[in-house]
Every structure is written in structure tokens, then in C-alpha cells.
Amino acid sequence: MRNFAVAVWFLASVCTCAKLPPGFKKCDREQRDFDECVAKAAEYAIRQLDRPLKRFGLPSLEPLEIRDISVGPGRGAVAFEQNFTYLHVFELTNVQVTYTLNFELEEYVKNGKKFYRVADGKLVMATENLRANLKNLFDGDKVLEAQINKVINDNWELVLDQAKGSYEVILGKYFSAIFDNLLTPGFKTCNRHRSDFKECIRQAVEDAIRQLKKPMKEFGLPGLEPQKILNISIEAGTGPVAFDQNFTYFHTFGLTLGEVRQFDIDFVTETVAMECFFPKVTYEFEFSFNGTVMSLPLTGQGFGWIVMEKMTYNMTFKLERYAKHGRKFYRVADEKLVLSTKSIRSRFENLFDGDKVLGDRINKVINDNWDILFDAGKGNYEIIFGKYFAAMFDNVLARASIAELFGGP
């Protein structure tokens, strides 16, 4: 099995298009230690596959589960039909079996970038020993069952030689499909020692955000289309925004359509400066308000929406290092978010117990004075959203070491 892992990892590690799970290591084929790097990366990858990584099309290898296999009758020593269900393969990391896989790849272009996919795959299996125990043969006749199991085990080399061709085809297609999933576009890593690191990391973060239409549990990342926050509560302030704000089912749309204009990492001060621009961000929620806005009474609860156009998120993260299992990691020690926008439109339904005249009037006041209200009230949202995005970033940082994310020291 290790030969299989090394073969897969060699191709995955040299292909910048491949997406790799957090913690999996990439190797630079231009480096002198490439062969050793690939061997260690393969060993490390195998050990991590004790659970499935569905996002990357990687099943668990402990056990490897195949729902069903059907093999027609052959000739000679193996002239019988074979049908298996719930086939579980254990100890793939330890068993002395050699899987030699050859993949023929073809290149294709997607969104202006080049990728590989598997055009054909061939598997050759070899083992130094084989033992089998088939239960309930001959309707449970223990004598016949023991005899036929002995025949199979005594002649395992002949049986394997005549039967393995079918399994090489079936399992070859299975592993080819796994590798093909690994080669599909995914998160990109960047080496800080390369001259293009700054642009590489900016583009990598932008690509990652655009992929977050669905949650990525392997990275601890929620979906951002929409971003969902169960509840937000803000006490009444002073001045124009002197009302209690309580939101439930707060959904944000448009974050995956953003443009990362800046993503700078200073490895000396250990800070990250990030600027994201969004053409339009829409918030939808259930609300409950009570207090005054622009010195006018405001009360009510119901459905509401806010649309912000040409919005910018400026985020700063302060990082700190820590060690885990002999490797160095980053975590977020502090964060700061600054929000800005060019325009805001909003609508809050069912204000003043459904009084349409008063509701329309206060909605007009809010929209006419959006810039004053935004400046007076945004500080609370900067704190809340800042902590939310810091937690997301922290989850990514916890799953891969500094060297794995950004290259060696």
C-alpha cells in the first residue's frame, strides 16, 4: 500500500493545481531533498487517513470501505462467481502488500489555469502471503467448509495469480477516482521564500473565499453563501443610535463574490493585513428594536434587510506562535475590523405594531441618514464580525503548521 501512497503523493505534491487537506505536506520538485520529502509526506498522509476527508474525495483507510464488488467466473483454478458486499479492508498502512499504480494524466484548462485529470489507471498487486477464511460454505457444513478453506490457503499463489486481474481492474478504477478527486481545483498554498509570494497568497485567499459556498469541515470553515449567525444582540448606545438591537437568523449574502485587494503577512511582527472589497452585501434577518433613532421613537419586531454597496472589510490580525507535536503553529491573538461602504438601503417590516404610516416614516429617516447611522453604530458590528472572522482564520491556522502553510522557516 505504501507504494501506492508514494505514487499518488509524488504526482499530487508536484502539481500546484492539486488541493490538499490541512496538515498534508507539499514538496517542491526543484529542491534537492524532494525524494525524501515525498516519502515522508506519503507516510504522514497515510497516518491521517483514519477518517474520511470528504471535501477532498479521500475515504478512510481504516478501514477502506467498498459497498459491493462483483466478479464473473474465470477459468482454471478460479471458475466461480464472486459477489461481495460491505467489503472492508483493514491495516492498509501495515500489511505487506505492494500496490503499484500507474496513472496516465491529461492536462486541461479551467478559468485560465492548467489542471490534471486521470485519463487511465493501471494497478498491479503483489503479496508475500495470503490467508483466507470463508464462513458458511456448503450451507454451513463444517467439514466441507474446512476442506475448501484449506485448499484455498494451500494454493493461495495459484488462486491469487488467476484471480487478481479482475481485482486489479476494479481497485485500479477505485484508486484512480480517488486521485482524480485530489487533482481537482482546491485551496492553494504559497511559499514565502518565492518572489511571487505576495501575489500568490492574495490570490489564494480570494480563491478560497469564493469556494466557500458550502462549509469545509476539514478546515473548520462555515459556508459563506450565506454566512449564518444565529443571533446578535447590541445594547442601546447614545446619540443617533440609542436603541436596543436584537437579531436572529442573521444571514449575509455576497461575501463569496468579493475581491481580495490586499493580503500581507509580516513574519517579523507576526501580523496580517487584509482588505476585501464586495460589490454588494445583503443582510437578511429577524429583528427586535426598542429605543430611539435620530431622537425619534423606534420599536417593533419582524423581518428586515439591509443592502450595502461597494463595501470594504479591512481586517488586521495579530498572530502568536505556539508549538504542538514538535511543530510551530500560529493562532490569532487579537483582531481588528474596519467597515466602510458607499451606500446603504434598508427596510424593517412591522414597526410600531404594524402601523404602516409610522413604519414608512421611520424607514425613510433611516435611509435618508444612513451615513450618520452607519458611522455611529458600526463599531459594535466591527467587534462582532471581527471575532467571527478571527475564529475562522484561527481554525485554518490550527490545522496546519507555519511551514506547511507558508513554506519553511
pLDDT at 369: 96
pLDDT at 218: 65
Give 272-281 pLDDT, tens digit per residue: 999 999 999 9
Give 15-62 pLDDT, tens digit per residue: 444 455 555 666 777 777 877 777 777 777 767 777 766 555 577 777
pLDDT at 274: 96
pLDDT at 408: 65
pLDDT at 24: 63
pLDDT at 111: 59
pLDDT at 18: 47
Of 253, 251, 258, 250, the C-alpha closest to 209 is 258
Please give the average per-residue pLDDT across 184-213, as a whole number.
81
Which carries the bigger pLDDT value, residue 31 or residue 250? 250
pLDDT at 381: 94
Please give the average per-residue pLDDT across 399-404, as a whole number.
81
Give 95-128 pLDDT, tens digit per residue: 456 778 788 888 887 656 677 788 888 888 888 8
Please give the average per-residue pLDDT across 185-195, as a whole number.
75
> pLDDT at residue 188 above 50?
yes
pLDDT at 92: 65
Which carries the bigger pLDDT value, residue 335 or residue 37? 335
Domain extent listing, the chain: 2-183, 197-406
pLDDT at 20: 58
Using a 10 angstrom Cβ sphere, with 0-12 exposed, 13-18 middle and 19 or more buried, the burial of residue 286 is: middle
Of 239, 386, 325, 380, the C-alpha closest to 47 is 325
> pLDDT at residue 267 above 80?
yes
Q: Do domains 2-183 and 197-406 have the same CATH topology?
A: yes
Please give the average per-residue pLDDT across 193-204, as a whole number.
88
- Read off the pLDDT band of 345 (50, 70, 90): very high
Quickly name the fold that domain 197-406 has. Bactericidal permeability-increasing protein; domain 1 (3.15.10)
> pLDDT at residue 348 above 60?
yes
> pLDDT at residue 342 above 70?
yes
Least confident piece of the model among 6-20, 78-92, 173-187, 313-327: 6-20
Give 137-162 pLDDT, tens digit per residue: 999 899 999 999 999 999 988 888 88
- Read off the pLDDT band of 186 (50, 70, 90): low
Which CATH entry fits the domain spanning 2-183: 3.40.640, 3.40.50, 1.10.1200, 3.15.10? 3.15.10
Give percent of the chain above pLDDT 70. 85
3-state SS string for the chain: CHHHHHHHHHHHHHCCCECCCCCCCCCCCCCCCHHHHHHHHHHHHHHHCCCCEHHHCECCCCCEEEEEEEECCCCHHHCCCEEEEEEEECCCCCCCEEEEEEEEEEEEEECCEEEEEEEEEEEEEEECCCCCCCCCHHHHCHHHHHHHHHHHHHCHHHHHHHHHHHHHHHHHHHHHHHHHHHHCECCCCCCCCCCCHHHHHHHHHHHHHHHCCCCEHHHCECCCCCEEEEEEEECCCCCCEEEEEEEEEEEEECHHHCEEEEEEEECCCCEEEEEEEEEEEEEEEEEEEEEEECCEEEEEEEEEEEEEEEEEEEEEEEEEEEEECCEEEEEEEEEEEEEECCEEEEEECCEHHHCHHHHHHHHHHHHHCHHHHHHHHHHHHHHHHHHHHHHHHHHHHHCCCHHHHHCCC
Identity at 314, one-letter amino acid code:
N
Of 245, 360, 385, the C-alpha closest to 308 is 385
pLDDT at 355: 94
pLDDT at 13: 39
Using a 10 angstrom Cβ sphere, with 0-12 exposed, 13-18 middle and 19 or more buried, the burial of residue 114 is: exposed
